[in-house]
Amino acid sequence: MSELGAQYKAAERVERGAGWLDTARPGWWTTFDLDRFSLADGCACVVGQLAGHDFDDAVDDGWLDLTYELAFNLGLFAGPPLQNEAEYQALEDEWRRVIAERRS
């Protein structure tokens, strides 16, 4: 996948994920720590930061009523390492862009 294709796919996933969070956790972006944000870290990814623990624990605790596949499609976490580094980076960059935009 080209870098542009990865960005487009990431933008779609993050748009859906941000929309879901707007309903589930209104104002979610106000407490999000961009300095520690990392999709590679289960406690610093989108779910990890908002739930206070990693994705598996969020599901087990009932905080997150989503399947892995749906959460992945919403861009809420990186899931298994992506085959394409550009796609992974595009997803993280898009979350940073959306959060910064909402804060401005």
| DSSP alpha helix (H) spans, 25-84 | 46-51, 55-60, 68-73
pLDDT tens figures, 57-92 = 776 666 666 777 787 788 887 655 556 677 778 899
Q: Looking at the whole model, is its pTM more than 0.85?
A: no
Contacts of 99 (CB under 8 A, 6+ apart): 29, 32, 34
Q: What's the domain count of the chain?
A: 1
Residue 20's domain spans which residues?
3-103
Please report, in angstroms and rounded to a whole number, the separation of the first and last CA atoms in the chain. 32
Q: Where does residue 93 rank: exposed (0-12), middle (13-18), buried (19+ CB within 10 A)?
A: middle
Specify the pLDDT at position 7.
Answer: 55
Which residue is listed with tokens 């749906």? 70
